[in-house]
Every structure is written in C-alpha cells, then in structure tokens.
Chains A and B, each alone.
Chain A
Amino acid sequence: MLLDVAIRYLLACLLAYENKSFFLVIFTQALMAVNERLRNLYPDSEELFDIVLMTNNHAQVGVRLINSINHYDLTIERFCMTGGQSPIGYLKAYLTNLYLSKDSKKVQEAIEEGIAAAIMFKPDVESQLSETQLRVAFDGDAVLFSDESEIIVKQHGLDTFFEHEKQHENKPLAQGPLKCFLEALGKLQKKFYAKNERLNCPIRTFLVTARSAASSGVRVLKTLRSWGLEIDEALFLAGAPKGPLLQKIRPHIFFDDQMFHIEGAKEMGTIAAHVPYGIGQKYNKGKLIEPEKQQK
C-alpha cells in the first residue's frame, strides 16, 4: 500500500514568515538529492522522501508559497492549508514520519500523538552544508531513547545513574520520540548498501551524546543493536560541549531535548531542532522550573 511504504516528512510553513529560510531550503535540497539517487537505483520504488507543507494559513497565501517554492526549485507538491485548524489530524492521516515547526504547541501535540516532531531554530551563523549527502545528528537520551535514564540523573544523581546503567547493561532502553525517524533513515540507507553504495551513501547519521563511554556507553550501543539500527558515527562527549563537534559534523539538522544544547549548537552555526519531550523540559540548566514559568 502506498502510504505504508512511502516515507513522508513534513515541513512547517516557514517560507511564509521568513524570506531567508535558507536552512530549510538546504535541507529540502538534500532530501531531494537523496531521492534522485534512490530513483536512479530503484526506478520503480516509492520509498522516497516526500515533503508536505503544513500551514495555518488560508488559501490566499498559497500563491506566495508556491512562488517561493518555485523560486528555490524545491519539489513540494503537497500542501495542507488548514486555515486555522490544528494540523495534527492531517499529520496522522499522512502517516507523518517527522514534523518540523516553529510552533512549540503544535510540536508538543504531535509528540503526544506519537509523531516524531521538533521545533526548528535558525542558527546564529551560516555554515556550508553538503548538497549531496543528508547528514542527521541525534542526541541519545530523551530523543532516540526514552528519558528513563535522564530521570534517574535528575532525581538521584550521577552515582545512581552509573550503577543503574551498569546493572541494566543488557536491558534495552525504551524508545524515544525520534527512534522511528532514525529507523526510517536506516531503511533507506540499507537500500544503498544493497547496491554496494555503502561508502558513497547519501545519508549519514550521527549520535552526539553527553554520556560517558566507559561508564554508561554500553547500554546505548546494545540498545541500538537490539533495535537493528546502525548509526554511522557515535560521539560520547562525557559532558563536553556539543557545539564545536557539531560544527565539524555540519548536520542538516540536529535533534536534542535540552534547550541548553540547542542554544550551544545554533551559536556555532548548526541547524538545531528542539524535541520537547521528557523530564529535561522541567529543568532549565539543572534547576526545576516553576510550572508557570515553563517555556517550550
């Protein structure tokens, strides 16, 4: 069935609000580059990226959007102009694999409905990104994995966390909101490997985690393996700042659940997307936020 097999990815309507959404353009271009390679290798397959533009706007704005899309030469043929309604229902109808938006409420709603979603942030400086290889970087806890370990750190401290991780080394972590998106990327990657294009694969995935390798790394790697997921590059930072490494990786998008890391990333020119999930949302730089003051 078409919908089961096709991989879809939705964009929020940023083109309407900003002229220079260069990062979205680059992102879309990278996805289109992957599609082209896929079509070359598998001309009859429908397992491709599909981009749907979701916007709150009314149909009037449609003209301007279409003009922008054509100006950048993007292949976005599917629109959903909800005229004020919540897009969540449509996301489900489209079997969305990833929803990106600047609106935190909508993103949170999507996550609650089980759809991988993140809030996009524009980087403070521009950086050169690949036009031929899609590069996606993920944080570990509360993004690929659930926030169970994060809860232990915040409530019981590091010692308990390390002990807990060692004891449960062989028990896979529960999955987090972006696990399925990594899975979808992995499926596409395998199609390239099957045609002997492993070294030249136009999709590359990165794990950038603040975990310490020796003390808590094994559980993460074993979990990924039990899910049958490969990740191309794994960086265990043991608390070092993520900004400089992301600057070297130059991903088209970096997912993290903590605003602190998002800010560090965008300061150094990385396109960062905040995943508002898990216990990390209740803490700002280590302190519990009062419920009224809780921001996205």
Chain B
Amino acid sequence: MSLDPVQVMKRQDSLPKTCPSASNGDSKASWDDSKDIHENVGSTKKPKPPKPENAVTIAVSSRVLFHTEKEQKVFEQQGIEEYLRYQVEHENEPFAPGPAFPLVKALEAVNNHLRELYPESEELFDIVLVTYNHANVGIRLINTINYHNLFIERFCMTGGSSPTGYLKAWHTNLYLSADTAKVQEALSEGIAAATMFMSEKQIEVSKTQLKVAFDGDAVLFSDESERIFKAHGLDKFFEHERENENTLLDHGPLKGFLEVLGKLQKKFYAKGHRLDCPIRTYLVTARSAASSGIRALKTLRAWGLEIDEALFLAGAPKGPMLEKIRPHIYFDDQMFHVEGAVEMGAIAAHVPYGIAQKYPHKKSTNTGK
C-alpha cells in the first residue's frame, strides 16, 4: 500500500500545501523559484512556501464535496450536452454543501492550528478536487469553492476519463467519491478510498475538532477474521481470535490513513496539546471486547498507532453511538452499517473491500469459499 507518508515527496521537490492565503498559487514557478521571487520582489502577505515534506493529500470528487443531485439527474436523463449547458447556465449559482463538505472544513481548521504551531512545516492536509467533469464545469466549481470560502487550489478535471490514474501522481492518502467503481479501482491500486452518500438528515459536527471514526475488520484490519466468521460462525471466530491473540492482524485499506492522522496528532502532543488536540480518532467495531478485542488492540499497539476512543459493540447497532460521536466521517466496509449511520444523520463512507461485499445484509454462517 502506498500510504507511507515518507514516500509522498520522493524524487520531486515541490508538493505544496493549501495555504489559506494561497501562496501555493505560483504561476509556473517551483518552490525554489517562488522562494526567490519573494526575495526578489519584497515581502508579501502570504507565508513563504516551505521546502517539500510530508503532506496528507485528500482527493475528493465534486459529487461528494457538493450537493449535485439535480445536475446528476440532468446528466443521467438528458445526456452530456444538456448537462454541460445546464451547468454553464447556472454557473454563478453556488452548489450546496455535500457529504464531504464538513470534513474539508475541519481539515482546514486543523491546518490553521498546525500552521500556528509549526509555521515552517509542510506536514499539512492538502485537498485536491478530482472530478470526471469537463473543464467547462470548472468555473461553477471554482465559484462555489470561493463562495464557501474553501481553499482548494488543485484541480484535476479529467473530462470523462478515469481519475484514478492521477491519484497516485498526487500521492493521495485518501480518495472520496460518490462512485463505487472508481473507489474500488483506487483500492485495488493500494489507495485508501471510500464511497460517500448524501443524506437528508445531517447532524451538526464540530467546526474545531476533526473526528474520524473507523470500523475495525476490513477497514483498519484485513478481512481475515471476517472471513472466518462468515464461513464458520461466531464460535469458531472467537476461538480463532483467542488462539491467535498475539499474531498481528494484517492491515486493511484505511490503516495508512489512520497512520498519517496519528503523525499529525503527535505534532500537537509535542506542543502540549494532547487534551485539546484538534484531531480525534475512534474505533467503532462490532467485535466483542472480552472474546475478540485483545487481538485488535494488540495489533494497533504493534503498529505504533494510538486510537483515542475504542467502542466494542458486540453486535449492537452502530447508529446511536455514531450519533453521539458525530464524526466528520465514519468508515465501514458493510453497507448495512453505513446505511444505519446515514439514517441517523451521521456522515458515513463505505469501503468496498473484503468478503463482506459478497454478503449484503445477511450473516451467513455456512458457506464455502
């Protein structure tokens, strides 16, 4: 999995971050170039572009960042020419926020904190808009971004071809899209990805603290235990977990993302901000603590990953818990849980990975493989 943040900048020496004052907008200069420009030109209001280091790149599609259901219908029912015409006609009308919007706002809030504490560092969140859309729609997207005061300077408008090819070039740490096929493609390329869904109900989330919740099996961890459960049933699963307590679980598609979140959290701890850290992580698993919890916790420990809050539900519904947590995003591999969460107004994303994709809504106890 190419989620190791150290790999983010090798070989290239400029991968800038989204600074709110948009100093990453040098027209055509490299980071060295722009440094020299600032020296030659005198001081500007914007922070000096730093030398390249780790950035946590989140790629979002336009359909999850904004609410584009109406336009999507036009595209599906009336075809592409009508869709383009419609977009151009409504160019000056900004879109409403979509499911990933609160997340992006929270990421920017964290960036602000990070810049205060580490003004020279590049270890920040960087948001790239990666969309199927044609360049003509770009104007409406830019107008919307400016209207909502977001700082998204990097666009990839692929005019119909698959955007997943570009994700690796952007060293993407997380890709969010409304299209499951694209998400699956990204996952098979080793990029953490999830499908987000729009819901009518949306509970309010924090504007100052980024909260990310993860399911355990087939999200942070591989689906190996899930397979045993589905093939042999609960008892066999418990036995297996107990026997293998000290064997680490294999990693799952979102492990790398938790890792980069952890790196950023440690930067806050280093400056004495553990109690009011603007990033908080949650494990919300259907595992039972006494019967199968140790292996999960030991695995996390072995990976050097801390998780702030761990909820072992032993099969209880996740919806009410998530409603209390109010995460900016919750990752789960089972649509059943994602739908439950969304119904209660929580922002949930589906990770189409692992054996659960073959068993929608049913707990099968004896199937062959």
Residues of A near any B CB (own CB < 8 A): 139, 141-142, 149-150, 153-159, 161-162, 199, 207, 209-218, 221-222, 224-225, 230-241, 243-245, 247-248, 257-258, 260-261, 264, 280, 283, 285-288
Contact = CB atoms under 8 A, between A and B. Distances in A.
B158 interface: yes
Contacts of B32: 285-286
B15 A240 contact: yes
Interface of B: 12-16, 18, 22-38, 40-42, 44-46, 49, 129, 134-136, 138-139, 141-143, 145-146, 150-161, 165-166, 168-170
A212 B141 CA distance: 13
20 contacts: A150-B27, A158-B22, A158-B26, A158-B34, A211-B28, A214-B150, A218-B143, A225-B139, A233-B159, A233-B161, A234-B138, A235-B166, A236-B156, A240-B154, A240-B170, A260-B33, A283-B33, A285-B33, A286-B35, A287-B36
Nearest to B27: A153
A149 to B, nearest CB: 6
A162 B37 CA distance: 15
Contacts of A264: 12
Given A217-B138, A230-B136, A239 B161 contact: no
A242 to B, nearest CB: 9
Given A158-B23, A260-B30, A214 B169 contact: no
Contacts of B14: 239-241
Counting chain A CB atoms within 10 Å of each CB, which of B139, B143, B161 scores highest?
B139
Contacts, number: 186
A245 to B, nearest CB: 5
A83 to B, nearest CB: 39
Nearest to A287: B36
A231 B135 contact: yes
Counting chain A CB atoms within 10 Å of each CB, which of B26, B141, B151, B156 scores highest?
B26
A248 B136 contact: no
Contact of A213 (B26, B29, B38, B153): B153
Contacts of B142: 213-214, 217-218, 221
Contact of A139 (B28, B46, B156): B28
A238 B170 CA distance: 12
Nearest 8 pairs between A and B by C-beta?
A212-B25, A286-B36, A212-B153, A238-B153, A286-B33, A244-B169, A234-B135, A236-B155
A230 B153 CA distance: 21
Given A213-B152, A213-B155, A245-B169, A238 B25 contact: yes
